[in-house]
Amino acid sequence: MSSANQVKKTGNIRAKSKVKILTAARTEFVLQGYRGATVQSIADRAELPKANILYYFKNKENIYHAVLEHTLQMWDEGIGDIEANEGPKVAIEKFIAAKVRMSFKHPEASKIYAMEIIQGAQHLKDYARTYQRQWVREKAKLFQQWIDSGEMVNVDPVHLIFLIWSATQHYADFETQILTIMNRADFEEDDVEQVIAFLCDIILRGCGLI
């Protein structure tokens, strides 16, 4: 008991501090990029002394890795899933909805991920090379089966996945541009469902599913 208790109590302080730091770091990395975000700026945002930051994370790269790990977790969850037995229409609908909801809920995660990829994905090459590639191949095969059985129009499954990824993530990554063009200060709850409806409508029809 004492051992478990100790771990829990000490772990609490660690955990809380780490969350505080990572939240601040995430924002700084999005706003300033990896190099532009300084340990001092992260400390200021977290309202902690700089040395305290480096007590919990050995160095700046360490902080970034932790942020990135959380980001990939979001991406995985948000990637939705495409199940074979649902048929193409429901599968694509669910997939789009999951990705759009994730974009509106965790725009910062999407932005950090996007910046990583744009800059050459040096911190997560293996992730795409192994996990993502396999995921795409698997799901593409599923789409191909639906195409072969005449359940949907003949479109390249891999590019279809790219299309859905790009269209959904756009609302997170290009938030600023979209809001400016729509002359709005923030997104509202209605927007999420409206975007889902729009994307499902046009993409499903594009796949010959409406």
**Smaller CB separation from a second copy, 3 or 190:** 190
Among 23, 60, 65, 140, binds DNA (CB under 7 A): 60
CB of 69 to DNA, least distance (A): 17
Subset of 8-37 contacting a second copy (CB under 8 A): 30-36
136 lies in the binding site for DNA (CB under 7 A): no
Cβ atoms of 173 and 71 within 8 Å: the answer is: no
Among 39, 48, 114, 192, binds a second copy (CB under 8 A): 114
Q: Which stretch binds DNA (CB under 7 A): 13-21, 155-163, 168-176, 197-205?
A: 13-21
Cβ atoms of 196 and 96 within 8 Å: the answer is: yes
Tell me the Ramachandran region of residue 87: left when phi exceeds 0, alpha when psi lies from -120 to 50, beta otherwise.
Answer: left
Q: What is the DSSP letter of 120?
A: T
Q: Quick one: CA dihedral 137, 138, 139, 140, positive or negative?
A: positive
**Smaller CB separation from a second copy, 56 or 135:** 135
Q: Residue 121 binds which one of DNA, a second copy, none, with CB within 5 to 8 A depending on kind?
A: a second copy
- Residue tagged 């939240």 (tokens): 23
115 lies in the binding site for a second copy (CB under 8 A): yes
Cβ atoms of 57 and 21 within 8 Å: the answer is: yes
